[in-house]
Structure 1
């Protein structure tokens, strides 16, 4: 979708999990095993740019979150602990005892939950544009509006354009017509009930991650968009200082860094995967 580079992509597999069947696409053929979950309002194709750049160095297992992409989802809200359980179901299905796990935003939250609850299954943790302070106890008005729109307005172009404006620099989708069409197409085709349930689970019922970062024992790469208005750079930098074994990498763009800055993100990920421990 974002690159036409040959990556030996396998057929998508549907994996039964506590959150319904999840679509998992395998791409790349390198020795490192990397499992990635996307942001809300996106699917696993946000990682196509990374796959095309790192295919010889890693095999990627790209999950579509519940209610997103090809994953039908469930018509109920759920916890990040349940998302972590679903994640482990995916790893079990592919025979992955350990892997690097990560994701953008929602994907980062779910990956962090895996690292907190099942650290023996995690070689490395990759947090990209991940909210550190989202709290179900005190949701912001913006978050309530997004949750409402996910259920009732997601098929309207105005809402989709609003999401795109928060997620991407104006030039990103303009320079990638195929991804722009795919982004709008996924939201238009999605089941609004299942998609909205996932969105509410993340932004209205989440547990803040910042206070738990010090408990993460695995090497962690924290990537942040320099222009990300949703989760500004300063807050991401201060969160990185709380990690036991962390590296902080600011990159160009807003909220979906693998799409907006694939070269920078790929370079950071390549260096991160190549080291047994962080310097």
Structure 2
């Protein structure tokens, strides 16, 4: 995670969404996890290299998008993503998201399959919220704009192996908390952790090429608990990433890039230069 780039803003039914729109080529939409913004994908974008147009969103509650308007669920944000694609003139994209973002990517893919070349769902809570999480909600409300709170989130999300291998990524992730609005962040945290219906009725409707990535050391959503739920998406490919916790884009960016390339190839099997195909508009 690096310094904030200058975002563009698009009006949607949930307010203005901020996103970083860069590059030319195969378009891929990235929605972040809780406690992160577009910077979650900086390592992925760097590893992707040329031939891709990347649209990295700030989710309401984190980053520069408008604050959340109450308990907005993932399907509503999915519609907002489609509004942005319409505004940018993008007919088809790959959708990718981590955790909360994985829920939104799944909704986009299931709800508008004609617009989606492939879906990458990473570290996502596939089942419904089970209540609790008062500590996370209250802590975010009162401490959410501090590095202290960010360090606590790092310990819960990153695997120990990832923290040892890339301490600079963990530090950057924690320091980004200083730029968040804790009141707005707490609203989103409450919605996702305590009021989400999960993806039980969404996964069976996925018909586009789909990959589900799980972290072998994800303590928030362990593989043993998520694997039976992932089986509800009968055509999805499941991959478990060794030594990865809850943030695959920062802990295993190379695996994320490999999954994106596989999805692009599956979407256009007759095009060996899939990643370098047409640009959909100017880069920003």
Q: Normalization by structure 1: what TM-score?
A: 0.86
Measured after TM superposition, the shift of residue 18 of structure 1 is 2.1
Equivalent residue, structure 1, for 2:258 = 267
SS at match of 2:62: coil
What whole-Å deviation, never above 9, does each CA across 1:40-88 have from its counterpart, x for those lacking one? 0011111111111212242111001012122232352212222112211
Picking from 209, 212, 228, the partner of 2:202 is 212
Does the alignment pair 1:238 with 2:228? yes
Deviation at 1:107, TM superposition (A): 0.3
Q: Greater relative contact order: 1 or 2 (C-alpha under 8 angstroms, separation 6 or more)? A: 2
1:25 paired residue number: 20
Alignment of 1:107-118 (within 5 A): 107-118=101-112
Distance change >3 Å, CA 96–CA 251, structure 1 → 2: same
- 3-state SS in 2 of match to 1:103: strand
Q: Which runs of 5+ in 2 are unaligned?
A: 270-284
Measure, in 2, the Cα distance between the counterparts of 1:124 and 1:117.
13
Native 8 Å contact 1:26 1:60 kept in 2: yes
Kept after mapping to 2: 8 A contact 1:72/1:191: no
Deviates more, 1:165-174 or 1:198-207: 165-174
What is the CA deviation profile of residues 139-195 of structure 1, one whole-angstrom value per residue up to 9, with x for unaligned ones?
1x3x23212222122134443222111111245456556544542333222111211
2:149 corresponds to which residue? 159
Spell out structure 1 runs of 4+ moving beyond 4 A: 173-178
How far does the alpha carbon of each residue in 1:193-242 deviate from its partner, in whole angstroms, 9 at most, with x for none? 21111112211221121343112221111001110011111233333322
In structure 2, relative to structure 1, the CA distance for the partners of 1:105 and 1:48 (3 Å cut) is same
Question: Compared with structure 1, are the counterparts of its residues 178 and 27 closer, same or farther at alpha carbon in structure 2 (3 Å cutoff)?
Answer: farther
Query: Hey, what's the Cα distance between the residues in 2 that align with 1:174 and 1:13?
Result: 35
Q: Indicate if the aligned counterparts of 1:27 and 1:55 stay in contact, CA closer than 8 A.
A: no
Asked if 2 retains the 8 angstrom alpha-carbon contact of 1:84 and 1:110, the reply is yes
Q: CA deviation at 1:277?
A: 8.1
Structure 1 gap segments, 5+ residues each: 4-9
1:223 paired with 2:213, answer yes
Aligned pair partner of 1:95 in 74, 89, 112: 89
Matched, 1:44 2:38: yes
1:15 aligns with 2:47: no
Aligned alpha-carbon RMSD (Å): 2.4
Per-residue CA shift, 1:85-129, capped at 9, x if unaligned?
Answer: 221122122211221112000001111122232222222111000
**TM-score, length basis structure 2:** 0.85
Structure 2 CA distance for partners of 1:64 and 1:264, relative to 1, 3 Å: same
How many residues matched?
A: 267
Partner of 1:149: 139
Superposed CA offset, 1:222-274 (max 9, x none): 00111001111123333332213211111131000110011222122212221
